[in-house]
Amino acid sequence: MFEKFDPRKGKRFQLLNEDGILSAEARKYPMMTDDELLHAFKTMILAREADDWAVSLNRQGRMPTYPPVKGQEANSIGSIMALRQDDWFVQAFRELGGLLIRGVPLSQHYLYFLGNEWGSHYDIDRFHITPISVPIGSQMPHAVGLAYAERYKGNDRVTIAFIGDGGTSTGDFHEAMNFAGVWNSSLIFYVQNNQYAISVQRKKQTASPTIAEKAFAYGFEGVQIDGNDLFAVYAATKLAAEKARKNKGPTLIEGFTYRMGAHTTADDPSRYRDEEEVQQWAQKDPLLRIQKYLIKNKLIQSGEIETLRKEARKTARDAFEEAENYSDESLDNIYRYTFKDMPPILEEQLEKRRILEGEED
Amino acid sequence: MQALTIISAVNDALITEMRRDPSIVTFGEDVGQEGGVFRATVNIQEEFGEQRCFDTPLAESAIVGTAIGMAVAGLKPVVEIQFSGFVYPAFNQIISHVARLRNRTRGALTLPMVIRMPFSGGIRAIEHHSESMEALFAHIPGLKVVIPSTPYDTKGLLIAAMRDPDPVLFMEPKRLYRAFKQEVPEEAYTIPIGKARIVEQGDDLTLISYGAQMKETIEAGHQLQSEGTSVELIDLRTIYPWDKETVLKSVKKTGRILVVHEGPRSFGVAAELISTITSEAFEYLEAPPTRLTGSDIIFPLPTAEKHFLLRTEHIVQVAHEVVRYEP
Ligand SMILES: Cc1ncc(C[n+]2csc(CCOP(=O)(O)OP(=O)(O)O)c2C)c(N)n1
């Protein structure tokens, strides 16, 4: 399906170039409607503003450690747009845009990073999503299991699983790829190759020229795409999903992208990368690119953009306030959710803790 | 002498010993150019080059696994696991090989190597960055587990770990990484693994802890002293093999003991100490040996970590029960 874009031949799939010009080929591929495109664009603006707001709140001491997504938004937005709402979405932790596309309230995402377990309490039947996975790579086998279960139940739901370039060095990633190949899983592995794992450059993670080509060794297709190109992300994911839905096997998509911000708010990227490089990638900003396209094609007027940004800023502020006003997690709850029924030995520990905290009753 | 924090003492220990011993190599995620996310290996790549200090791909199992090969071939690897919460992919290597190789080859192959990792909570960290799982490792036959609580001990214990003929798991209390400075000699020195430190002598109560929790434990000890209780404060320093002699001697003197640790309660370090004390110093006990520990729950995210952590007043409160106990 992606024969024309074999990563082993140095090919990368791109439809919208850095100037916002769509290739003549684009119409041959699945495309979003104009309305969908506008929705994706607005979501990208919201993700960007939400991200910036979280980072600035961190500086004010109101937000603990937060991992910005800036520059990578097209990857999760385009791919989640290309899937059905009931397709499984297995997160790593840099998929804010995709979460918003699913309809997850921004306040919930903030709540997680504010340090409250309710931030991971997703409405599963609505969002079909698994929680953020901090131990890098560990979520990948889960995705293979989800895909197995859906096929077992006779459903045509597919699964998408996200991971970073660093994550592709983990055993779990390779074991999951191998299982998926053997089981012919209805699965999309989406690698957000943002060029760094904290300070470690992509070339230090793997000696292979691309991550995408690893798929072939596991018996299925891989494709490297321009991850800052919303059109390419959407089209590649749509094709991979159609293939998966027909039980024609998994696909590895490597979104070639860039983390424009720090690894997390605790990180200082100037220690390991040049400002020049950051500036070069700023030219490829997925948001600017889609904006250029929309303006050129008169889908939006340049004057409207500032309004959208302002609205997004307000949405982000409101969402954060909502999350901040959520009550802190309680003493009881940190015990209660350990098991369905609290064993007496734990009950006793909770009782002792209450006494320690002066909560005797 | 130089005033160092715990994190700078780690760095100083590595540099001091690497200058002396060319077989030492140190590596892990972000350890090279970046100097570690906590700056434990800062300036080491500059001084010793990329062959002795380097970044690895993101894979803990291979970090520990390759260290095994290096140690077998005569190098002395000191690996960094970025956070103890991410050591689990390497658990197989640790339990199946690191801890067993000397025994199963009857000494033909040995593993002088160090696995360093920050642990403990209280820094408002995201998931998997706060746990204290030392008991898991202390339970593995064939593994030494060391936990310093001061800059001076950090340097001496880490150098001792690097000179040890067997593998040492070196757990660093990250809550204390930059909490305070202490005078630390510039030259190399060692502190024996397996020896506790009597922080202060006393007669009425033995109060034991280690790692990050030592801070609150010492504060509690001082408070009790100001109330007129004579407290013997002990920093265990080595979890395995723990210093039974020092602990038993102290308990035989005071007759009352409280063991404090942040990690979960069941099957924890305090359980081991108290079990030994109960059977080997039974006739000296004037109160039930008591532990104050974390609960058997998942370490909560920042908004509730206050409900997990043990504060000074909690220690004082439980110590009162032990001191006031009358049979
Ligand atoms: C198993 C494991 N090891 C180490 C870490 C610490 N850590 C958090 S993010 C990260 C880098 C991840 O890089 P990558 O997979 O490329 O994702 P990115 O952060 O660039 O999105 C590391 C080493 C972790 N979370 N899990």
Residues with CB under 6 A from ligand 1: A 94, 134-136, 164-167, 192, 194, 196-198, 259, 263; B 29, 58, 60, 82, 86, 89
Residue B304, pLDDT above cutoff 70: yes
> What is the distance between the alpha carbons of residues A253 and A227, in angstroms, rounded to a whole number?
9
Query: Residue B108: phi, psi to the nearest 5?
Result: -65, -40
Query: Residue B169: phi, psi to the nearest 5?
Result: -95, 120
For residues B167 and B252, membership in a common domain is answered with no
Percent of residues, chain A, with pLDDT higher than 70: 99
Query: Contact at 8 Å (CB) between A189 and A117?
Result: no
Kindly state whether residue B50 falls inside one of the protein's structural domains. Answer: yes
For residues B13 and B150, membership in a common domain is answered with yes
The model's confidence at residue A92, banded by pLDDT at 50, 70 and 90, is very high
> What is the distance between the alpha carbons of residues B211 and B237, in angstroms, rounded to a whole number?
7
For residues B203 and B104, membership in a common domain is answered with no
- Which one of the listed residues B97, B128, B129, B307 is annotated catalytic? B129
For residues B235 and B300, membership in a common domain is answered with yes
Which of A93, A200, A355 to probe by mutation at the B interface, max B CB count within 10 Å? A200
- Which pLDDT tens digit goes with each residue over A246-274? 999 999 999 999 999 999 999 999 999 99
Which amino acid, one-letter code, is at A39?
H
For residues B216 and B169, membership in a common domain is answered with no
For residues A349 and A258, membership in a common domain is answered with no
- Which pLDDT tens digit goes with each residue over B183-231? 999 999 999 999 999 999 999 999 999 999 999 999 999 999 999 999 9
Kindly state whether residue B190 falls inside one of the protein's structural domains. Answer: no
> What is the distance between the alpha carbons of residues B227 and B221, in angstroms, rounded to a whole number?
10
For residues B217 and B287, membership in a common domain is answered with yes
Q: Which one, of B112, B318, B58, lies nearest residue A173 by Cα?
A: B58
For residues A347 and A293, membership in a common domain is answered with no
For residues A347 and A232, membership in a common domain is answered with no
For residues B164 and B204, membership in a common domain is answered with no
* DSSP code, position B233: E
From B139, B159, B184, the end of a domain falls on B184
For residues A308 and A168, membership in a common domain is answered with yes
For residues B171 and B203, membership in a common domain is answered with no
Q: How many domains does chain A contain in total?
A: 2
For residues B84 and B123, membership in a common domain is answered with yes
Q: Domain containing A198 — which CATH number?
A: 3.40.50.970
For residues B12 and B160, membership in a common domain is answered with yes
Q: How many domains does chain B contain in total?
A: 2
Kindly state whether residue B162 falls inside one of the protein's structural domains. Answer: yes
Q: What mean pLDDT do residues B263-289 have?
A: 98
pLDDT of residue A360: 53
Residue A361, pLDDT above cutoff 90: no
Enclosing domain of residue A189:
3-329
For residues A220 and A336, membership in a common domain is answered with no
Q: Domain containing B234 — which CATH number?
A: 3.40.50.920
For residues B175 and B206, membership in a common domain is answered with no
Q: Which one, of A218, A208, A225, lies nearest residue A250 by Cα?
A: A218
Sheet containing strand A187-193, edge to edge, reads A129-130, A88-90, A159-164, A187-193, A251-256, A221-226
Instruction: Give the closest residue (by CA) to ligand 1 atom 3.
Output: B86
Kindly state whether residue B189 falls inside one of the protein's structural domains. Answer: no
For residues B241 and B97, membership in a common domain is answered with no
- Which pLDDT tens digit goes with each residue over B71-100? 999 999 999 999 999 999 999 999 999 999
3-state secondary structure of A179: helix
For residues A17 and A109, membership in a common domain is answered with yes
For residues A302 and A359, membership in a common domain is answered with no
**CB-closest option in A167, A271, A328 to B303:** A328
Kindly state whether residue B130 falls inside one of the protein's structural domains. Answer: yes
**CB-closest option in B58, B61, B88 to A197:** B58
For residues A219 and A349, membership in a common domain is answered with no
Kindly state whether residue B286 falls inside one of the protein's structural domains. Answer: yes
> What is the distance between the alpha carbons of residues A144 and A172, in angstroms, rounded to a whole number?
11
> How many angstroms is it from B29 CA to the middle of ligand 1?
9
Query: Other C-beta atoms within 10 Å of A314: how many?
Result: 11
Q: Do B307 and A272 touch (CB under 8 A)?
A: no
Kindly state whether residue B191 falls inside one of the protein's structural domains. Answer: no
CA distances from B145 to A317, B133, B160, B313 (A): 47, 11, 12, 28
pLDDT of residue A359: 74
Chain centroid to CA B229: how far? 28
Query: Contact at 8 Å (CB) between B19 and B203?
Result: no
pTM of the entire predicted model? 0.97
> What is the distance between the alpha carbons of residues A127 and A280, in angstroms, rounded to a whole number?
36
pLDDT of residue B327: 85
Enclosing domain of residue B299:
197-324
> What is the distance between the alpha carbons of residues A90 and A70, in angstroms, rounded to a whole number?
20
Q: Does A184 touch chain B if contact means CB atoms closer than 8 Å?
A: no
The model's confidence at residue B46, banded by pLDDT at 50, 70 and 90, is very high
> What is the distance between the alpha carbons of residues A45 and A40, in angstroms, rounded to a whole number?
9
Q: Which one, of A5, A13, A1, lies nearest residue A227 by Cα?
A: A13
